[in-house]
Amino acid sequence: MQDYQTQQPTVLKILDAHREMPGNLLPILHGIQDTLGYIPPDAVPDIAKALNLSKAEVHGVVSFYHYFRVTPPGKHTIRICRAESCQSMNSKTLETHAKQTLNIDFHETSADGMFSLEPVYCLGNCACSPAITIDNEVFGRVSPEKFDQLLATFKGTE
Amino acid sequence: MTRLFISRDSTALSLGAELVAQTLQRHTAGQNIEIIRNGSRGLFWLEPLIEVETDAGRVAYGPVQPEDVASLLASGLLEGNQHPLYLGDIEALPYFKNQNRLTFARVGITDPVSLDDYLAHDGYRGLKNALALQPADIVKQVTESGLRGRGGAAFPTGIKWNTVLNAPAEQKYIVCNADEGDSGTFSDRMIMEGDPFVLIEGMTIAGLAVGATQGYIYLRIEYPHAKIALNQAIAAAYENGYLGENIQGSGKTFHLEVRSGAGAYVCGEETSLLESLEGKRGLVRFKPPLPAIVGLFGKPTIVNNVISLASIPVILDKGGEYYKNFGLGRSRGTLPIQLAGNIKHGGLFEAAFGVTLRELLYDYGGGSASGRPIRAVQVGGPLGAYMPESQFDTPLDYEAFAAIGAVLGHGGIVVHDDTTSLADMARYAMEFCVEESCGKCTPCRIGSTRGVEVIDRILDNVDKAKNTELLRDLCDTMTCGSLCAMGGMTPYPVLSALNHFPEDFGLQATKA
């Protein structure tokens, strides 16, 4: 894990850029996660101080939202939809296959640091279920075979 | 110059539209063609779709894979000639022809982020009319249209706007709820990706109607392509005087900004959304006071969902009366219906209220994708009821659905074939509530956790009769005691599964 000292200037810059924005906590957290890949727990005191909130309040917001993470992600993040539409098209089989292939559970990162696996509840691709995303790309009608091909592709782009 | 259209819609992209566009670009390098990345027509089983503009109108081909491009070009794609993937005029297909496209009139036709294209296809005519009206008269048009919130609760939009109009305040807000993450719904996403200007125009009109100068679109983080399209369109609207100060020389002001959510389903609930926009945990607020009186940052606020706001421009363009003439009973206008899950022809189907589930599932949807019998459909998202075949003749109408204990919600229809266990789906509904409850009220937070346990005991044959009774009692507590629809409606999928499919729980059919 990176040393917070090297990350702090980035965090402070993001805090400064959002100083005047009403309701700025979520945009700040997005800014940090977009830049650093996650929200370092050590950043919480800095955020709290800048927004005149308690550390507990900031931590409460970070932990409330599924999207925010407090550990560094793998190189690529795979999100598998678990909602009803995808279930009706066998997403459970796909989920099991993904976990076995990557040898991890949801919210974990593969041993080689390549892939993080997260559940997601609806990508709005319900007419072509089951759906997944890898980073910001959406894929529809994903069978276990197609999943393996995608893994190979994303590994290949190294 | 030959113009070609390939969609930039997420679903088309999820099936390879980007690669098709790139391949086509490569094969036609040096030729006089332009590839326009449009929205999707919503006939998703035909995506990736290519349309080519010819003297005889647009000709469509699909579904196209990159390896088809060479043979398409060889057989005369650019002239609209025959090919095994030839579909002809997409608007002549029954799936498209039998729709009433009011809100989705431009989606799949125009370049979503081209303001010129929007203006050339009747865009901003509603705003032009609104600028000539008094605020109360704009609200009157909306009231007359009979439009009810398309987000699920179906509250009359005109009444909500009137409340905000009459609430005195130096600052008011327009908030677009673009965080509805119901499984089986994608109409919000499609309109934001396929015609973002219509939402921007609708919100601007809302601002004029109630005297609000600031708007926010609270957008699901799961929709990255929608964010790109919205921001491109907002930038174009600012540059051309359709947003900002002195809109089109009228002296009126409206500012608009997109804010990202962070993966909390409950933030689709309006008060939870407002908390989130204020930078807090998305905890549901007690009502009253209504957001129309005390909303964002304590000020009067219109919170409407995407489709409600996107329906406003056509109402102000053609009049409330025109819109009202579509529909049935107290359900006026059109509803963008989404066919999803295990369905052969999944996609978007905008129609006047009154079409039946059976027509949608079989005449247009073509039956299940697996080819097996359709056993149940869940309408209105994860908190909607599971409907058995015996209810497939119900017309899509808010009251007709309410009468049989179902909800129409956002018009999302998720199809399940006969391999689905409805007991598993009921358990999942409770599990989803555990995952997504904001935690503020006990019936939702604790009730859902206990609900999973009780269903597990039923499925494990532990005191079956007693636990079934307990499950019904628990559902009653959640329905009557929860603060918002998250806990209050989770019993819909659970009880409908139990009532219509008792055999999946290992129970005798006792009551319907």
pTM recorded for the entire structure = 0.97
Contacts of B448 (CB under 8 A, 6+ apart): B430, B431, B433, B434, B437, B478, B487, B490
Cα gap A87→A92, rounded to integer Å: 6
What pLDDT sits at residue A1?
Answer: 56
Determine how β-strand A76-81 pairs with β-strand A132-134: antiparallel
What pLDDT sits at residue B454?
Answer: 98
Task: Say which amino acid occupies B88.
Answer: G
Residue B254 burial by Cβ neighbours in a 10 Å radius (0-12, 13-18, 19+): buried
Task: Say which amino acid occupies B265.
Answer: Y
Residue of A nearest to B369 (CA): A89
pLDDT at residue B107 is higher than 60: yes
B282 closest CA partner among A48, A89, A33, A60: A60
pLDDT at residue B512 is higher than 60: no
Half-sphere exposure at residue B298, Cβ-oriented, CA atoms within 13 angstroms: 1
Query: Structure tokens of A23?
Result: 């309701």
A127/B338 Cβ within 8 A: yes
What pLDDT sits at residue B310?
Answer: 98
B11/A125 Cβ within 8 A: yes
Band (B50; pLDDT cuts 50, 70, 90): very high
| Beta carbons within 10 angstroms of residue B507's beta carbon | 15
Query: Structure tokens of B50?
Result: 């290519």
pLDDT at residue B406 is higher than 70: yes
Closest to B262 (Cβ–Cβ): which among A22, A67, A128? A67
A138/B13 Cβ within 8 A: yes
Looking at every residue in chain B, the average pLDDT score rounds to: 97
Q: How many CB pairs under 8 A join A and B?
A: 147
Best A19, A69, A77, A128 residue to mutate vs chain B (most B CBs within 10 Å): A128
Band (B318; pLDDT cuts 50, 70, 90): very high
Cα gap B417→B364, rounded to integer Å: 17
Best B7, B9, B10, B368 residue to mutate vs chain A (most A CBs within 10 Å): B10
Best A34, A122, A133, A137 residue to mutate vs chain B (most B CBs within 10 Å): A122
Distance from CA of A32 to the nearest CA of B (A): 13
Put residue B371 in one of left, alpha, beta given phi > 0 → left and psi -120 to 50 → alpha: left
pLDDT (tens digit per residue) in B244-301: 999 999 999 999 999 999 999 999 999 999 999 999 999 999 999 999 999 999 999 9
Distance from CA of B435 to the nearest CA of A (A): 10
B219 closest CA partner among B254, B246, B257: B257
Closest to B264 (Cβ–Cβ): which among A29, A66, A140? A66
pLDDT (tens digit per residue) in A36-76: 999 999 999 999 999 999 999 999 999 999 999 999 999 99
Query: Structure tokens of B92?
Result: 């002549």
Q: Give mean pLDDT, residues B411-419.
A: 97
What pLDDT sits at residue B181?
Answer: 85
Q: Give mean pLDDT, residues A80-109.
A: 98
Distance from CA of B238 to the nearest CA of A (A): 19
Q: Which residue has the tokens 């309109």?
A: B191
Task: Say which amino acid occupies B227.
Answer: K
pLDDT (tens digit per residue) in B434-467: 999 999 999 999 999 999 999 999 999 999 999 9
What pLDDT sits at residue A125?
Answer: 98
pLDDT at residue A158 is higher than 60: no
Cα gap B236→B124, rounded to integer Å: 13
Distance from CA of B439 to the nearest CA of A (A): 10
Query: Structure tokens of A38?
Result: 């996650």
Beta partners for B260? Answer: B219
What pLDDT sits at residue B51?
Answer: 98
pLDDT at residue B511 is higher than 60: no
Measured on CA atoms in the order B382, B306, B409, B273, is the torsion positive or negative? positive
Looking at every residue in chain A, the average pLDDT score rounds to: 96
What pLDDT sits at residue B151?
Answer: 83
Residue of A nearest to B44 (CA): A127
What pLDDT sits at residue B180?
Answer: 83
What pLDDT sits at residue B510?
Answer: 61
**Cβ of B171 under 8 Å from any chain A Cβ?**
no
Cα gap A90→B15, rounded to integer Å: 18
- Chain A residue numbers with beta carbons less than 8 Å from the beta carbon of B13 are 137-138
C-beta separation of B282 from B266 below 8 A? yes
Cα gap B347→B350, rounded to integer Å: 10
C-beta separation of B40 from B11 below 8 A? yes
Band (B367; pLDDT cuts 50, 70, 90): very high
Closest to A131 (Cβ–Cβ): which among B14, B338, B416? B14
Q: Please, what is the Cα angle at B434 between B219 and B265, to 5 degrees?
A: 5
pLDDT at residue A157 is higher than 80: no
Band (A91; pLDDT cuts 50, 70, 90): very high
Beta partners for B6? Answer: B50
Best A85, A134, A147, A153 residue to mutate vs chain B (most B CBs within 10 Å): A85
Distances (CA, A) of B131 to B124, B247, B309, B316, B318: 11, 9, 17, 10, 15
